[in-house]
Structures are given as structure tokens and as C-alpha cells.
Amino acid sequence: MPLGRAVYRGSGRLTGVRRRIVTLTVVAAMLAIGLFGLPFAVVAAKYYADDERAELERAADSSALAVSDDLSAGVVSPALPPSPHNITVALYSPGGQLRSGTGPPTADQVVTDARNTDLSSGDVGSNIVVAVPIINGATLAGVIRASTPRTEVYRRTALTGLGMIGLAALAVGATWLVARRLAARLARPLEELSTAAERLGDGDFTVRAHRTGIAEIDQVAATLAATAQRIGETLDRERAFSADASHQLRTPLTGLRLQLEAALDSPGQDPSEAIASGIASADRLERTIDDLLALARRSRTPKALVDVDALLDELRQGWNGLLANRGRELRISAGDVPPPRAAAAAVRQILGVLLDNAVTHGQGTVRVSVRDAGDAFAVDVSDEGPGLDGDLDVFASDRASGNGHGIGLTLARSLAEAEGGRLRLSTPSPPTFTLFLPIDEPTEGPVGTGLGG
């Protein structure tokens, strides 16, 4: 299984990411509601308790005013006015006996404390109790006791709590809906990245992810696109290298085969010369392989001054025999030209392509001429074959066209351009190809007019 598919398809289209986003958002909302709601519930409970005490105080004060005149007139058990709902009121004598109303038969601690203060309050059993004294002049005439069950506070607090829980549920529900929408918006670009990664793992190197406006996701998309492009370019180079290597190795292999066949056709001759020639051809084949491997690692190919004499000697030794077996001749001429600065492997392969093209498609004598082209090093390779069609692009890598030129000449041109030079068809008849190379690394501007032709 491709790597991208193995890594990304197991994610379940990133539903887990959506679920986590929704879960974390809802949990954060619940935590915020809890941190706000619990203190609010405590404050609400205290507020309701204080409010009940204030209500009891008002009821006690109202009852005290209502019976103060009757007590001044000597009425022992005056009638108490009606009390609010859930509040009971009682009148006690200064000695603590119940005179009227509803309450314990004898005064409790809250009523007892009220004899010496203006107001006394507290909890008695399950009730909240407030007591106020009735003063007649300087004499204590009685004590009014007002009470209500604490369950009333609990009831009001519970109702408020239920309301808060309902609002919290609505808030959590709204948060859940918003979180689902946001999770979908956030996960959609990630799902597109997942799909792009799957396609990349399946071998589609043209895959590109859409920009979302989210900087982090866009950065990942850009990195994925760059990775896809680099992988595609790497595979294209590998395919091109395989084709180029096959093309470049075919000629020395053919020469070696011809030498061995010539030795077999002459059984009476000493095979030592044929063996030595075969070993030399094998050495050239090995050097060609090394050149191709070095050129496949362009960044590692050093550029230095080319040893022109040694290079021409290699050409003479490598191609003389092959042309002689076909009844043709190789002529090499060189003037006093400063050596170019380039990778020797690249120059050797370019000239090898041009000579192979002349041997395979040309006729008659093959000429290699080294000359000075102003500020450039020039090599002309020509033969006496028929002229080429001026409208034909011999450098086009069209393997299906059947013209026989594309792959090798395309390789040669790309190698020349990689070295800062240029390869062009100087004259179509007789066919003459010219390689221009810089004599030295240019300090500014492009290579001189010699490359322009």
C-alpha cells in the first residue's frame, strides 16, 4: 500500500478531529458555565436567606406597631394582624410566655435575646426566626416573634438553580451547534489535505490543495505541493536518466560487439589485439556509466578547466575503430584555444551524442573542429550526409516521431545548458552541430556573443 494511503485513510476522513473539536469546545463551555454558575448559586442562596430575614423583620415590625397600643392599654393578649404567606407571628410576654399568635409555648433563644436588643435573628430548628421588642416608654411590654420555614429559601434557590440549569443547557446546545459548524469549517481543509496526500501516495504528483486563509493549514498545503513537485521532478529525472543511460550505452556496446564479431570472423589471427581493443571499449563503457551517474548528481559535478587534448584523444580512440569498420573516417582538428570551464563528464557525453548522431544518421567523413568563438570555446561536429529539414526541430524529445534524433540531442542540449553553454544546429546542410562553452566563469551578464551564434 502506498505511504500516503496507509497514513491518511486510517483517519476515517478526519471525523475524529471533528469529534475532538466539538468535545473540547463543549467541555470548555461547560467548565466556563460551571465556574460562573456555582458561585452564582451560592450568592443566590445567601441572597434569598437575607431576603427572607428582611421579610420577617418587616412582618415583626408591622405586628409590633399594631399591638403596641393594645399593650399600653393593658390588653394581655391582643389580636395580631394577618401575616404574609408562610410567615407565622407570635406575641410573647416579657417573661417569655406565649400570649397570642403561633409559636412555641415559651420563648426560645432568639426571643430571649430580643429583650436586650433592638432586633434578634437566628435559626431555630428548620425555621428562620426574627424577634423585635415592644417598648412602652422605658418598659419592655412584650416581644414579637416572626418565623418562616427554611424550605422556602431552599425552594426559591432550587427554582433559580433550575432556571440556571435550563439556560446552561441552552448555552451548551448552542455551543454544540456552533462547534459542529466550526469543526466542519476547520476539518474541511484538513480533509482536502488528506485527500491530496492520498493522491500523492497513489502517484499523482500534480496534486495541489486549495488555500483556506488559515495560515497554518495553508503552510502545510504549500509544503505538500512543494513536496509533490519535488517528487515528480525527481521521478522525471530518474525516468529521463534511464532513457538517456540506455541511449548513451547503446553506442559503446555496439562498438564492443562489432569488435568481438570482427575477431570471430578472423579465427586465424592473434586475438590479443581484439581482446585489448575489447578491454579498452569496456573501459570506455565504464567511464560512460560513471559520467552518467555523475551527471545525475549535478550538484556534485565539479566544474574545472577541461583538458581538451585528453578529451580529443579519447574521442579519437573511441570512435576511429567504429567508423573504420563502416568504411568511414574521423578527422579531428584543434587550434590554439583556451580551454573551457565545465564538467568534463558533461562535455564528453555531449560530444559522444554528436558523434553517435553523425555515425548513425550521417555519411562520409566525420569532422570534429575545435575553434575560438570570441569569448567562447566552440566545437563543430559535421559529416557528409544529406542535409536536414530546416523546419525540423532535431532537439525535440519526440520519441514517437521516429526521426531518431530527439532523445540524444535533447540530452546533449540540456547538458550544454546546465554547463552555461549552448548547443545548436549551425548549418542544416551539410549537418553541422556546434557546442559553445564559456572559457571561464562569467563575472557578470550572460555568456558572450559566441554562444548566441
* Whether residue 325 is found in the same domain as residue 195: no
| Cell digits of residue 96 | 417569655
| CATH code for the domain of 352 | 3.30.565.10
Question: Model confidence over 184-209: pLDDT tens digits?
Answer: 777 777 777 777 778 777 777 777 77
* Whether residue 178 is found in the same domain as residue 308: no
Cα angle 78, 80, 84 (rounded to 5 degrees) comes to 175
Cβ atoms of 174 and 35 closer than 8 Å:
no
149 inside domain: yes
Final residue of a domain: which of 156, 179, 204? 204
What is the Cα–Cα distance from 179 to 25, expressed in whole angstroms? 6
Final residue of a domain: which of 140, 174, 204? 204
Lowest-confidence segment of 80-89, 256-265, 328-337, 356-365 by average pLDDT: 256-265
385 inside domain: yes
Cell 554528436 identifies what position? 354
Lowest-confidence segment of 137-146, 242-251, 400-409 by average pLDDT: 400-409
Residue 435's pLDDT is 94
Alpha-carbon distance values, 54 to 119, 120, 123, 246 (Å): 11, 12, 14, 103
Secondary-structure breakdown of the chain: helix, strand, coil percentages, each rounded to the nearest 5: 55, 15, 25
255 inside domain: no
Lowest-confidence segment of 76-90, 291-305, 325-339, 382-396 by average pLDDT: 291-305
Region 290-301 average pLDDT? 59
Residue 302's pLDDT is 57
Count of CB atoms within 10 A of residue 77's CB?
A: 14
257 inside domain: no
Question: At residue 445, does pLDDT exceed 60?
Answer: no
Question: Model confidence over 321-378: pLDDT tens digits?
Answer: 778 878 899 999 988 888 998 888 888 888 988 988 888 888 899 999 999 888 889 9
Domain region containing 112: 1-204
Cell 532537439 identifies what position? 395
Question: Model confidence over 275-285: pLDDT tens digits?
Answer: 776 776 677 67
231 inside domain: no
Final residue of a domain: which of 157, 184, 204? 204
Question: At residue 453, does pLDDT exceed 60?
Answer: no
320 inside domain: yes
Question: At residue 60, does pLDDT exceed 80?
Answer: yes
Number of domains forming the structure of the chain: 2
419 inside domain: yes
* Whether residue 57 is found in the same domain as residue 200: yes
Confidence of residue 401 (pLDDT cuts 50, 70, 90): very low
What are the backbone dihedrals phi and psi of residue 339, each rounded to the nearest 5 degrees, phi first?
Answer: -70, 150
Region 308-324 average pLDDT? 85
359 inside domain: yes
DSSP state of 157: H
DSSP state of 133: E
Confidence of residue 245 (pLDDT cuts 50, 70, 90): low
Cell 409555648 identifies what position? 105
